[in-house]
Structure 1
């Protein structure tokens, strides 16, 4: 809800501060008094395009500050949180400053922001209908959600959106698999060559190190054999016939002969000789085994080297380590298998996408039928409001335009738009293209009255909604504005005494001159002042007693 509006140096306004409350608030005054300046000022704070012509002559800068009360859960709070803007005392303050050089600045709660953010916040706070910029109902993008809200179809619309997402995901999965299969088929010859090459080699995990060890032994086979033989000769004695084993055996026999005389202390020495003899036998066995395992066959060495370097070349080709070649082999084989079985897999994905499309279309079609029924009720309700508003020749129509499949989306399979025809037989068209002036405002009033319970709870501003009408039609407008203001805030710029008489709060806009400068001022009226102002609206410049009596009657009837 708009709480206050402070204006500094805008056109004819020098300094002005207004406080607003819920209910129907009427702004009246003579033509040219400056009522439009108030709306221009409010629009400036809401992010409308700045014009240096708004600056009061002689002033350095214009400034407009609009303060709003925010209820808990208001959607503006989420927008503010996105931009790390804090809220104090549940109040939002939007401020716009315009310098005479045409440059401007925008603030929200004293934090500098973009004008784009001001407009985004304004869309949740104020809806202005009339000659000033229109928001909300004139934007066709809002018509579908309003129809769904009116028809109680929001939950079904959400289900349609979910089915649409399922369909798009299934379709994306199918198309991705299709592209991958097509690419794989283009690479099939290459893949088969690579797999055949790996099939022939059959690389094994850890094989590189094994081959490197074997290759190293073969390359040094003669040196190794000579070393093993020399070590064996030293242990066995070689041609001299007396080696380590014989020496250890002789030493043990010598000690055994004196064991009885040496006592128990000799036993440790005998055990040590036994261990030495056992270790020597084991060493000889190992040397003979190693010697027997070494091959001096140059053909075997060549075979190992060929395999070793073949694996090295293949690893470089595939950009991996030799030990990773088995995994590469498996992956390439999987791609080939996918090509062989890809047709069946692709068909399964295609079938899944078709089923998801069918599920979406069935729910979307049911939603379309429900929207058609809701549109019929909405049209009847709004058309019933038009005759009292002096729009008896006009017709309102909710248009449901089927979309081509390429244009289907999460909102369904049709486009929703509100259209009017102002004369019998005329072709319906968009509200802002067919209706004009007061007609447009009264159309929007009819829509607002019917959609009051489902429209977002924003402050509403009507600019001369009663233009070109009077008498019973003006009274009908006043009655509808009063009904619409229940539980919300309406600001109405009006020339109609019937509308002003229904207001909960009444402001008078007046222009005064001191001979040097002309200034617009706004004052809130008391009950007596209201009666006098409504009498002026009824009779003109000269207020008569009859006009005052008529004003009192209008106010009493309200």
Structure 2
């Protein structure tokens, strides 16, 4: 609800503070006193378009602030928290217009774009009258009101879950189908490549082993000749084998060591060297015994190496990377081949989800159709009691094609109205005049108010063109609506004002040729005087006072 409205230097308003309470509040006063300017001010702070001409003459800027109690509006509180704009359980909106044409907006002291201010405003207040800030004209609000009126919450929640699941499966199926189509050529190539690599069966480390073996086999004769020469020099040469010469030197130094013991360690070194040579000779003989110079084996090794190099060139990688490539391509092939299985499973899940959506869509459509008839009848009855005797209200459900289903259901909801007899129904926003639209809005709000919506409703001269018993009915409907919402009503009719829980008189005076707007929260006696003025014009008589008192007493007796 709106707790307080502050206006500075807007139009003829210098500065005023408007405190507000729950229930129905009537704003009354002489024509031109500034009643509708307050509605304009509220529209500004809710995000309406600003005009520098609204700034009070002689001032550089105008300012409007409004304090709202959020109460049970948890959705808006969550919305504010998500944008780091929350401030306990209240929301302070502020709008500044400057002569330079700039317009600044604030939410709880933080600067925000005008669009953000407008989004918050739509969740706080509806204004009915010659204004654009009317949520009932929005298709989404019309649909929500119908669902709330028909108590479709559980059914709609079930539909919402089923629809989201169906859409997720639809998107996944589309992606998978597209992937399968685009990768058909890739799959064929992969199968060929994997088959070729698996046939070749390159093993990790195999290339290095083959290259080493190829070197050995290709130079086998050279290796044998070299090893035999080494054996001859080391051990087998009868005339000058190194092993024999080393033994001879060792024995000679051993004899000299008897003369000089310093030579003894050197003799040990020579003896160790002889042992090492003996072991080397054994190793060389074993190497010769193991040598197998097989031309067929050499040919096979070279063919195998050639296979490595050919495949590596084909795939543009190093030959040693072939085993890794084979594993990678085989893995990719397995994944792609699994698409067919996943596609089949997903198609089954999609078909089941679609059937569920069709069934829920039918249930929701049936429930909406039933609620639409009842809501149309109820609104039509209220309209006809509000000086629209030939009025007719309809709720049109336009079925959507299956591919057009949305999170909101399988049909579009539109409120249509015929304000006069013989006039065909048309969209709410195009058929009714400003005053008629206000009364239609009142009728809809009376029937749907207890099922949610914004917490504050402003009716700007909703009683235009009516009077007498109809005006009393309008007032009674507004008071009824105030059981569930905060209602502010700008009115010229005493029958409407008398129904209010509170009344504020707006008056205009002049100081030094400057217009001053004043607000007065009326007590019981002052309300009698104001309603008497509204009944009798300029001259207030005792009869008009008595009539005003009787009107107020009658409202109390009814309750």
TM-score by length of 2: 0.85
Q: Which runs of 5+ in 1 are unaligned?
A: 252-271
Q: Secondary structure at the match of 1:371?
A: helix
Question: Alpha-carbon deviation of 1:73?
Answer: 5.7
Tell me which residue corresponds to 2:429. Answer: 432
Residues 98-497 of structure 1: pairs in structure 2 closer than 5 A: 98-187=97-186, 190-191=189-190, 194-195=193-194, 197-198=196-197, 200-215=199-214, 217=216, 225=224, 228-229=227-228, 237-240=235-238, 283=283, 287-288=287-288, 291-292=291-292, 299-300=299-300, 302-316=302-316, 321-331=321-331, 333-334=333-334, 342=340, 346=343, 349-497=346-494
Q: CA RMSD in A?
A: 3.3
Change in CA separation of 1:133 and 1:338 when aligned onto 2, cut-off 3 Å: closer
User: Kindly tell me: are residues 102 and 238 of structure 1, through their superposed partners in 2, closer, same or farther at Cα, counting changes over 3 Å?
Assistant: same
Question: Secondary structure of 1:47's match?
Answer: coil
Query: Would the alpha carbon gap of residues 549 and 219 (structure 1) be closer, same or farther in structure 2, given more than 3 Å must change?
Result: farther
Seen in structure 2, the aligned counterparts of structure 1 residues 543 and 221 have a Cα distance that, compared at 3 Å, is: farther
The CA deviation string for residues 497-536 of structure 1, in whole angstroms up to 9 with x for no partner, is 1111111211111121235222222221121111111111
Cα pair distance change 1:171/1:79, threshold 3 Å: closer
Tell me the CA shift for residue 83 of structure 1. 2.1
- Of the structure 1 ranges 114-123 and 420-429, higher mean CA displacement relative to structure 2 is found in 420-429
Structure 2 partner of 1:548 = 545
Equivalent position of 2:527 in the other structure: 530
Q: CA deviation at 1:347?
A: 5.5
Change (3 A) 1:186 1:34: same
Does residue 66 (structure 1) correspond to residue 63 (structure 2)? The answer is no
CA contact (8 A) 1:106 1:113 kept: yes
| 1:289/1:130 CA distance change after superposition, 3 Å | farther
Structure 2: how far apart are the matches of 1:463 and 1:278?
120
Q: Is the 8 A contact 1:389 1:442 kept in 2?
A: yes
Match of 1:507 among 499, 504, 507: 504
Aligned residues: 529
Unaligned segments of structure 2, at least 5 residues: 251-271
Deviation of 1:7 after TM superposition, in Å, equals 0.8
| Residues 460 and 294 of structure 1, relative CA distance in 2, 3 Å threshold | farther
Instruction: State the TM-score, normalized to the length of structure 1.
Output: 0.85
Alignment-derived partner of residue 9 in structure 1: 9
Matched, 1:26 2:26: yes
1:485 shift after superposition: 0.9
Report the CA distance between 1:322 and its aligned residue: 2.4
SS at match of 1:32: coil
More displaced, 300-309 or 121-130? 300-309
Shifted more, 163-172 versus 441-450: the winner is: 163-172
3-state DSSP of counterpart to 1:390: coil
In 2, Cα distance between the equivalents of 1:129 and 1:320?
80
Q: Following TM superposition, by how much is the alpha carbon of 1:185 offset from its aligned partner in structure 2, in angstroms?
A: 3.4
Q: Which residue of 2 aligns with 1:49?
A: 49
The 3 A distance-change label for structure 1 pair 305 and 384 is same
Asked whether the 8 Å contact 1:45–1:94 carries over to 2, the reply is yes
Instruction: Tell me the SS of whatever aligns to 1:307.
Output: helix
